[in-house]
Structure 1
Amino acid sequence: MCFSLHLVCRFLEPGLLYARRQLTPVLPSSSSFEIPDSYQLTLTKEIFLFSNTLVGRRKRMLLFGSITQLEMLFDSTTIFMDGTFSCTPPFFDQVFTIHALNFPCVFGILPDRKRITYQELFKILKDFAISINRKFEPTRILSDFESGLISAIANEFSAAIHSGCFFHYTQAIFRRIQVLGLTTLYFQNSETRSRCRKLMALALLPIDKIESSFHSLRVKSSTMKNQSCPPCTGGNGYCPPDYFCIGYSSPYCSNSCNPHGPGGPKGCCGCCPICTGSGK
C-alpha cells in the first residue's frame, strides 16, 4: 500500500510543480517591481507595508509593520536596532529591524547602509507617529556599530542615550582576531587569550575606568613580543605579532624582528601570518 502511494506521488509531482509555477509571480529583474495587495496587508486586512519610498536613483526602501506594532514602538522608551545581510532579497543591501524591547516592530528592506538612508527611515517613522497622534522619541537606543547608523542616530535622536550592543562588540573583536591570523594563537596561548578577553570586558567597566584600563592593557600587551625570532624556514614557527599595535586600516607586523620597527611596511618580517599574507 505504501509503495503504491509512493508511486502515485512520484507520478503527480511534475504536474503539481507545474501548477505551482503557474501561480507563482515572475521573479523581478530590478527593485522597481509591483507588490501585490496581499503582501501589503496583514491577515486581518490591516496595513502592513506602511512605506514604499525611493531614497535615491533606483534605490528603494520598503518598511513593514502593523499599526499595533508601530504603536508599541512609539510608546517604548528603549528600542533596539539591528541589520542582517545573509537573508537580504536581490537588489537590496540589508534587512533592518527595529524592536521595542523583545518585540519586533518594524521590518525594513534597505538599499544600502548610508547615513542618509537611515535618516530617511527615521523621518518616515517620526511622520507616521505624528499621523497617529504619537511621538517617536526613544530615550535609549541600542544598536550595532555601523558608522552610518551611528551618525544618523546622533542627528535624529540627539537627546537619546545611544549604546553599542555588547554581542556585536565582542563579535567584532573576534572577527578581527581571525582577520589578523591570530586564531591559533588565541586558542593555544592562554596569555594572548586573556588579553583579548580583557579587551572584550572593557565594555563592562565603569565609564571612568575604561580609558585607564585600556591604556594599562595596551602597555602590558606591548611586552608580548618574542625575545628571539625563529628563523623563517617555511615551517609552522613564526613570531606572534603584537595584536594591539596592529593598525586597523592597514595591518602591519610589529614583531621584534621587524627591521623597520612597529609600523614598518607589510611583508618586512616574513615569518608571521600577517607578513606572509596567510592570515588575510
Structure 2
Amino acid sequence: MPPGMVWELVMASLREAYPEETLSTIPRLPSITIIKYTRTQATGSDAFRAIESIPTRNVAADDSRPFLQFSVVHTVGCGQQRYLGFGHPELVRLLRYAGSAIFIDGIFKMVPRPFPQCLIVMMRDPGMDMYVPATYVLMDSKQQDAYWNALNYVIVQTDRLLEPATVTCDFEHGLMNAITEQFPLVKIRGCLFHWKRALRRKMVELCIARPQISAVLRSGVIDVLAIIPIDQIADKGFRFVRAQMDETGNKTKWDAFWRYFRKTWVTSYDAGLWNVNSMTESGIDLQNRTTTR
C-alpha cells in the first residue's frame, strides 16, 4: 500500500474514532517520510523481501490468500536468475483442469525493474469461453533454461496437475523448446497475431511502401496462407497472394520478402506451427481465434 494511502487510512480511522475531538497529528508529508523510513528499516531496502512479507504478498488487505505464488533465485555461473510468480488462487486453480488450452505470452515494455520480461500464462476458462490470465512470472533471463524453470514453478503451483492439450505461444525457439520439454505430448500452436507482426516487421525492414504493407496484411490476403493445405503454400499460396497485391515500384523488395518467407516460415519453422488447415479439417475448435485477431 502506498505511504500516502496509509496516512489517509490512519487519519480516517482517527476521525471516525474521535469525531468530536480536535486532532493534533503529524502532517501528511512528514508522515509519509516516517512510513518510508520504517519500511526501509524493516526490509533492509530489499524490495523482494518486502514483497514476500505479510500483508504485501496477500490478495488483498482483507484476503490472506497469497497473490505471490513463488519467489525463487537460481545461481547460474557467477550470476543469478530470479523468478517472481503472481496469480490469484482462484485463477491458478483453473490450470489444474486436464486437457486445457493454454496461451503463453511475454511482455517486455511494461515490466518493473530489474526484470526485462513478464511471462503470462493464460488459461481458457470453459465456463466463460474466454482466456483469463492465471499466472504472471517476472524473470530476468530469456534463455531456454529460464523458460523451463519458470514453467516448472507454475506446474508446481498446480500440484503438478497442469497437463494442457494445446499451448499457443510466440515463435521463440527457446520458449517452444521449454514447452516441449515440460509437456512432451502437447500440441504447440504459433500465435497468428505474432506471426503477422513478424511478417510486418520484415516488410518494414525491407523498406516496402506502407500502403502496400497495409494492403497485404488486411484480412483475406497473406493470412490465407495460414488456412490452406500446407503443401500448397509455396506454390499456389504464394501466387494467389501476390496476385492480390500491388507490387509497383517494390518488386525487388517483395522478391526478397518471399525468399525470407520461404526460408523462415516454410523451412526453418514447421509450417504446422502457424498453419491451421489440419485443425479446421478435423473440426478442432480454434481456441486462439479471438485472442489473435
TM score, norm. by length of structure 1: 0.64
Would you say the 8 A contact 2:70–2:86 is kept in 1? yes
Letter in 2 for 1:59: Q
Letter paired with 1:178: V
1:199, distance to aligned residue in structure 2 (A): 3.0
Match of 2:148 in 1: 119
Partner residue of 2:17? none
Deviates more, 1:178-187 or 1:157-166: 178-187
The 3-state SS of whatever aligns with 2:141 is coil
CA contact (8 A) 1:31 1:92 kept: no
1:62-116 residue CA offsets vs partner (Å, 9 max, x unmatched): 0112332221012151111111111111111111111111211101101122110
Distance 1:200 1:22, change over 3 A: farther
Residues 68-147 of structure 1 aligned to structure 2 (within 5 Å): 68-75=90-97, 77-101=100-124, 102-130=131-159, 135-147=161-173
Contact 1:61–1:110 (CA<8 Å) still a contact in 2?
yes
Counterpart in the other structure of 1:60: 82
Provide, for residues 194-240 of structure 1, a one-character-per-residue CA deviation record: whole Å limited to 9, x for no partner.
7997333311324444344445469879x9586xxxxxxxxxxxx65
1:183–1:45: structure 2 CA closer, same or farther, 3 Å change rule?
farther
Tell me how large the CA RMSD over aligned residues is. Answer: 3.6
* 1:203 has 2:220 as partner: no
Return closer, same or farther for 1:20/1:160 CA change in 2, 3 Å cut-off. same
Count residues in correspondence.
Answer: 217
Contact 1:145/1:164, CA 8 A, preserved across alignment: yes
Q: 5 Å matches for 1:131-170?
A: 135-170=161-196
Comparing 106-115 with 199-208, greater Cα deviation is found at 199-208
Residue pair 1:218, 1:244 contacting (<8 A) in 2 also: no
Aligned residue identity for 2:35: L
Q: Is the 8 A contact 2:203 2:213 kept in 1?
A: no
- Cα distance between partner residues in 1 of 2:33 and 2:201: 42
Write the letter of the residue equivalent to 2:145. I
Which structure has the larger Rg over C-alpha atoms? 1
Q: Which runs of 5+ in 2 are unaligned?
A: 1-26, 125-130, 261-293
Q: Unmatched 5+ residue regions in structure 1?
A: 1-14, 227-238, 249-280
Alignment pair present for 1:37 and 2:54: yes
Query: Normalising by the residue count of structure 2, what TM-score does the alignment of the two structures yield?
Result: 0.62
Moved more, 147-156 or 212-221: 212-221
Specify whether residues 16 and 66 from structure 1 end up closer, same or farther in structure 2 by C-alpha distance, changes over 3 A only.
same
Displacement, 1:38? 2.3
Select 2:254's aligned residue among 221, 243, 250.
243
The residue that corresponds to 1:171 in the other structure is 197
SS at match of 1:39: coil
Structure (1 or 2) with the greater strand fraction = 2
- 1:107-132 superposed Cα distances (whole Å, 9 cap, x missing partner): 110112211011112222333333xx
Greater fraction helix: 2
Q: What SS does the corresponding residue of 1:45 show, helix, strand or coil?
A: strand
Contact 1:54 1:61 in 2 (8 A): yes
Return the alpha-carbon distance in structure 2 between the equivalents of residues 194 and 110 of structure 1: 33
Is the partner of 2:96 in helix, strand or coil?
helix
CA distance in 2, matches of 1:169, 1:28: 45
Task: Tell me how far apart the structure 2 counterparts of residues 168 and 176 of structure 1 sit (CA, whole Å).
Answer: 12
* SS of aligned partner of 1:75: coil
Structure ranking higher on relative contact order (CA contacts 8 Å, 6+ apart): 2
